[in-house]
Amino acid sequence: MDKIVIKGGERLIGEVEVSGSKNAALPIFAASLLAEGSNLFTNVPHLMDVRTIVKVLKNLGIKISEDGGTYRIDATEALGYEAPYDLVKTMRASILVLGPLVARMRRAAVSLPGGCAIGARPINLHLRGLEAMGAKIELRHGYIEAKADRLKGAQISFDTPTVTGTENLMMAATLAEGKTILQNAAMEPEVVDLADVLNKMGAKITGAGTKLIEIEGVESLEAVEHSIIPDRIEAGTLMVAAGLTRGNIRMLNCPLFHMEAVVHKLKEAGMEIESDGEGVRAVGNKRIRSVDVKTQPYPGFPTDMQAQFMVLMSLAKGLSVISETIFENRFIHVSELKRMGADIGIQGNTAVIQGVGNLSGAPVMATDLRASASLVLAGLAAAGMTEVSRVYHLDRGYEALDKKLAKLGADIKRVREPD
């Protein structure tokens, strides 16, 4: 197992390219199940989670070839219908094949994702929506078994906006008979990127990016070419890195237009973030000020940036309050940050952070992707050496973060540890 070793204190300076979005690539790959012909997807990030969805799709009999960040995915041939436990347990987002399989194969057996480090993460709303469209769903031996004739359009209202739930039902509805209306839908940019792909395939979707999505079902879809949008969470993580190290970085391929809430908070904390047309510059040239943050569905502040922002607040001047409203257990980074000298108290879903003058390097580990990223960030700013273990969490969702940070001047290396 690898670990990342960081000697803190270097200012980050230079240019870096933001990779394609993980959470856009995963549903778009699942959407290829719906179409006949050979899809071509570019700007795909090199990540463990992408390799997992590829395994899930290959297991269904789909032909996939890869060249750098370009994937050809062809689901023309008859497909299987099972996503097995061994794959789903390594990545919950495997559930994204459920909607497409029921729509195209009229049958699916997908292992029920278990609990997760950051919360219970039920999928009741995915299942309820498919049932409303006419699927018969049973839970058997840990699997969701779904069967349907052609799905029928339905009016579905989500109790709470769910990103992958919206994506699953939007995909299923493209091949349903009649019109589906999704109310209180997730508005995330990744939902919009998926809708763009589906519409290119011939689907009739309107309203993606708003709370009300309408899908008029069609008979069949055709393969497309599409470039995945850049990753707003990676970009936000890099911005925080600049703020923490009083750095000055320019990001290419940076989706500033998807990052309003994060950029607003970083500016409020004293950072300068400006677009120069082609790139976005993030500068942290003074001590960060404390600001309060509450995570919310898009366009609010993303839960996927909460841990990283908490590191910034740990070194800010003053007291800040961070409320996590999306997941019930997303403060797993706190105890590790405290070991590095952060002053953080937790009460329920609220963290109160008293900024300290400095952090001190320590051996740390985390059980979640964004928590791991926050520990790497803390290491960049801490005095002395930080060793972040269980790096496989980081590799699930960040493309070569250690290499990108090293290129910007961080003293960071990956060390292979014997298993």
Rounded CA-CA distance 226/205 in Å is 17
Distances from the Cα of 22 to the Cαs of 232, 268, 368, in angstroms? Answer: 10, 28, 15
Q: Does residue number 374 form part of the binding site for ligand EPU (CB under 6 A)?
A: no
Rounded CA-CA distance 255/263 in Å is 11
254 is an active site residue? no
**Pairing state of beta strands 35-36 and 221-222?**
parallel
Q: Does residue number 210 form part of the binding site for ligand EPU (CB under 6 A)?
A: no
Task: Please say which residue, 235 or 326, places its beta carbon nearer to ligand EPU.
Answer: 326
In a 3-state reduction of DSSP, which class is residue 330? coil
Query: 377 to 416, contacts with ligand EPU by CB under 6 A?
Result: 397
In a 3-state reduction of DSSP, which class is residue 177? strand
Task: Please say which residue, 11 or 121, places its beta carbon nearer to ligand EPU.
Answer: 121
Sheet holding 363-365, edge to edge: 363-365, 385-389, 2-7, 411-416
DSSP category for residue 85: H
The residue count of the chain comes to: 419
Q: Does residue number 265 form part of the binding site for ligand EPU (CB under 6 A)?
A: no
Site string for ligand EPU, 110-139 (x = CB under 6 A): ---------x-xxxxxx-------------
- Smallest distance, ligand EPU to C-beta of residue 136, A: 18
Q: Does residue number 235 form part of the binding site for ligand EPU (CB under 6 A)?
A: no
Query: 2 to 31, contacts with ligand EPU by CB under 6 A?
Result: 23, 26
Q: Does residue number 164 form part of the binding site for ligand EPU (CB under 6 A)?
A: yes
Rounded CA-CA distance 257/105 in Å is 37
Q: What is the CA radius of gyration of the chain?
A: 21
Residue owning tokens 């994506």: 167
Task: Please say which residue, 168 or 314, places its beta carbon nearer to ligand EPU.
Answer: 168
- Per CB under 6 A, the list member of 55, 258, 265, 370 interacting with ligand EPU is 370
Characterize 25-54 residue by residue with b for buried, 16 or more Cβ atoms within 10 angstroms of its Cβ, and e for exposed.
bbbbbbbbbbbeebbebebbbebbbbebbb
Choices 199-207, 256-264, 296-304, 350-358; region in contact with ligand EPU by CB under 6 A: 296-304
Q: Does residue number 309 form part of the binding site for ligand EPU (CB under 6 A)?
A: no
Count other C-beta atoms under 10 Å from residue 116's C-beta.
Answer: 13
Q: Does residue number 93 form part of the binding site for ligand EPU (CB under 6 A)?
A: yes
Q: Does residue number 160 form part of the binding site for ligand EPU (CB under 6 A)?
A: yes
Task: Please say which residue, 180 or 303, places its beta carbon nearer to ligand EPU.
Answer: 303
Question: Catalytic residue among 14, 61, 116, 275, which?
Answer: 116
Choices 3-11, 195-203, 298-306, 356-364; region in contact with ligand EPU by CB under 6 A: 298-306
Residue 195 · residue 152 · CB < 8 Å: no
Longest dimension (CA), the chain: 63
Query: 68 to 87, contacts with ligand EPU by CB under 6 A?
Result: none
Residues 6 or more apart from 393 whose CB is under 8 A from it? 366, 367, 368, 369, 371, 372
Residue owning tokens 């057996």: 109
- Smallest distance, ligand EPU to C-beta of residue 219, A: 29
* Number of amino acids touching ligand EPU (CB under 6 A): 25
- Per CB under 6 A, the list member of 326, 342, 353, 378 interacting with ligand EPU is 326
Q: Does residue number 369 form part of the binding site for ligand EPU (CB under 6 A)?
A: yes
Q: Does residue number 336 form part of the binding site for ligand EPU (CB under 6 A)?
A: no
- Residues annotated as catalytic are 116
User: Which residues of this chain interact with ligand EPU, rule CB under 6 A?
Assistant: 23, 26, 93, 119, 121-126, 160, 162-165, 186, 190, 302-304, 326-327, 369-370, 397
